[in-house]
Structure 1
Amino acid sequence: MTMLPKIIKSSLLSCTLFALTLGNLASADDRFKDVEIKPIKLSETTYMFVGSGGNIGVSAGTDGILIIDDQFAPLADKISAALNQIQAGAPKFIINTHYHGDHTGANAHFGKNGTIMAHHNVLKRLASDSKTTADALPVITFEQGITVHFNGDALKVRHMGPGHTDGDSVVIWSNDNIVHMGDLFFKDKFPYIDLNAGGSVEGYRDNVAAVLRDLDAQTKVIPGHGALANKSDLTRFKHMLDASINWMKDQKASGLTLDQLKATGMPEKWKDWSWKFISEEQWIETLYQGL
């Protein structure tokens, strides 16, 4: 067999890798090409943007634009276009509720012109990934919380300890009676609790309970995932968490294995909370490992 010269072989390898890279980029583009960023007006200055990934909170007014989370990187231009339909200009501030890519993917895009703020652990986890650029990193970090006085309101950014991850924050509008829960709320769905990133099953439940104490029947609740909600929806979510935790503790006390619990399944009342990302089996495994 005739051996290809090294330079030809090297060129072929480079072309192959380049083609694979283009293929991956094209695949990402295909995944998001039909996504629409839909604004939902909550008050004169506040919006919820729905697209793909975590819901985005928006404050837009005389002080400029502030956003809470920014979904996936390929959606950055679509998010910018949706913002410009409301008010011209790039966001001055970007708040990250936690570090996951479906909430921070467009950080690099918005961080070029705006200031990103988040809990200390969000910076720590984003910076630990060599693929994260400097523009995508939080510039202002905090331990327990920070208040942003913007567009006639005071947005209280609160960290309450390990829950979904070890760096979760919720954002509470003092005047507009709105709260952005980040991924401490998956409306009518089993939540993802990232145990490998400092998440805690009981901490998650306790954090939801702490937020509920500050809400009233008129509070508009922006979940990390799902439709706009209210206190009743968040209360129902808390009841599911309580029931799941109590059920798992009882099952483990009986000596049942994880495989046995998966085979038996959750109580019938909660089975329809299963979804494509966190199935009933995955939720059972999270509870088993986290309790």
Structure 2
Amino acid sequence: MTSTKTWYSFFISLITLVAYAQKKEVTVKTHQLTESIYMLEGRGGNIAVSVGGNGVFMIDSQFAAITPKIMAAIKQLSEKDITFLANTHHHGDHTGGNENIAKTGAHVIAHDNVYKRIKANSKQSEEYLPVITFNDKLNLHINNEPVLIFHAEKGHTDGDSMLYFTKSNVLHTGDLYFNGRYPYIDLKSGGSVNGYIEAVKKGLILLDGESKIIPGHGAISNKAEYESFLTMLQTLKPMC
């Protein structure tokens, strides 16, 4: 009779093989939004990349295991180094590659609460930590474009930021917008339904008919789809 230990070993081996296969299957896809702004899809939150004379500005880093594929995709866009990496919030599918990217010399930017939550996670090393933090908003001037980084209080988490490329008219929402699906609100990390709705409204102020939106998850979007997402949230709120 097959022992429990043997079955357990077989199960662990199977899980390891599946995880390895999934890792190999990840393909990083590049989408160009403007002459200098790109979106990368892989596994985890959508990445934004700005390329230009000041180097590469990156938003979110997905998981550590696929950093080599992400770096390879970025090298197809620019031979310059990654100067800054901004995190939209602390979740691992957006910050998992922080350590790898920081080791290349990039400076990590995030809201104060992102720093606190990463710092409190004993499983993450110091290399994950942002070296530049802010409370309300931050202006970054890079690649001949002012980028507005602003905090949305108690939305998806308590440390969410949106980033707006002012000349390119591109908004990266992080997980304050899930295109084509229902949102996830992390109540244990300070998120709230009311705060989420207010955050979406805050982003809407910046948009016009020509705006392009990089959501936390889902395809590249626009103002009309974003407004539909807001309507859905407001409709479902009384049921919460």
Shift of 1:32: 2.1
Greater share of strand? 2
Residue 35 (structure 2) pairs with residue 44 (structure 1): yes
Q: Which residue of 2 aligns with 1:243?
A: 235
Q: Which has the higher contact order (CA 8 A, sep 6+)?
A: 2
- The counterpart of 1:114, out of the listed 68, 81, 106, is 106
Amino acid at match of 1:122: V
TM-score by length of structure 2 reads 0.92
Corresponding residue number in structure 2 for 1:77: 68
| Structure with higher helix content | 1
Residue 283 of structure 1 corresponds to none
**Match runs of 1:1-291 below 5 Å:** 27-112=18-103, 113-246=105-238, 248=239, 287=240
Q: Deviations over 1:135-170 (max 9, x none)?
A: 111000000011110001011100021100000000
Structure 2 unaligned residues grouped into runs of 5+: 1-7
Gaps of 5+ in 1: 1-15, 249-286
Structure-2 separation of matches of 1:143 and 1:71: 23
| Number of positions where the alignment pairs a residue of Structure 1 with one of Structure 2 | 230
Amino acid in the other structure paired with 2:113: N
- The answer to whether the Cα contact below 8 Å between 1:28 and 1:74 also exists between their aligned partners in 2 is no
Q: Show CA shifts across 1:243-279 (max 9, x none).
A: 0003x1xxxxxxxxxxxxxxxxxxxxxxxxxxxxxxx
Q: Structure 1, residues 98-147: CA drift from partner, whole Å, max 9, x if none? A: 00000001001001111001001101111111111111110000000111
In the other structure, the counterpart of 1:255 is none
Give the C-alpha shift of residue 213 in structure 1. Answer: 1.7
Whichever residue aligns with residue 229 of structure 1, its letter is S
Q: Does the 8 Å CA contact 1:29/1:74 hold for their aligned counterparts?
A: no
**Counterpart residue identity of residue 58, structure 1:** V
